[in-house]
Structure 1
Amino acid sequence: MDEPKTSGSRRTIHLPPLAVGVLRKHREDQDQRRVAFGSEWGLGWPDDLVFTSTVGTPLGPNRCNRLVKAMTLAVLGRELTPHRMRHSAASLLIAADVPLKTISDSLGHSSIRVTSDIYGHLFSPAKADAADAMQRLLDGADERG
């Protein structure tokens, strides 16, 4: 409920259509609960919260972590925290060859160096690919004399 730590922390996150659809459905369900609950919904909290308790109040960090763990256990067969999911998303984006600057911006890191310092170990396969590419180039140079 606080303001972001820095002005750079406020950013637009682009989501895949699947996630947008799930969030829209969640909002519809939440709107139905809001109407059914009546004027006491949210007990004075802003009504634009995305995830709330059953009465529209904010979820505390511990409650949020417990809910995410329970949902990921049910869906994936193992518990994940929001923090772990963030790392997993970054790792998958790196594996998909998304530019590091784009990943850094999405994560809200202050610089690309922060992202590189945290996730640099994941670039080892790319370094091997670069060495292989250089070898192919050098092999071609040998053939040309």
Structure 2
Amino acid sequence: MKVTLISIPVRDQEKALNFYTEILGFIKKKDLPLGGGNRWLTLVSAEWQDGPEILLEPAPNHFKPSKVFQDALMDAGYPYTQFDVKNVDAEYDRLTKLNVEFSMKPTKMETVKVAIFNDTCGNNIQLVEKL
């Protein structure tokens, strides 16, 4: 068994696509219409194009429990998911120059360094560097 796809709930797929590709550097892999203005929209890491896909899921727009959960995570300051990076400080510097808002600056915690940013689509995302 292996992970091939993870879903990240987003309120606006086009806005999410722009943020995740233009700001974070992911690459669009699939973009298929599903009807009702929704898409099967997946991305992959530029560094691992054969790795797991990220589905930009419009669930909060159509499934109230998803919106409630997403809002609760944001209100509590908890990240929805995490992305591993080689250097949290370098990513923090790069992203802050692109006006990405961080709720947690790079912080060392035992064997990792973490930072948390707002993806502008309803989620906190945690960056993790293994030390």
What is the TM-score normalised by the length of structure 1?
0.29
Higher relative contact order (CA 8 A, sep 6+): 2
Greater fraction of residues in helix: 1
What is the TM-score normalised by the length of structure 2?
0.32
Determine which structure has more spread, i.e. the larger CA radius of gyration.
1
Greater fraction of residues in strand: 2
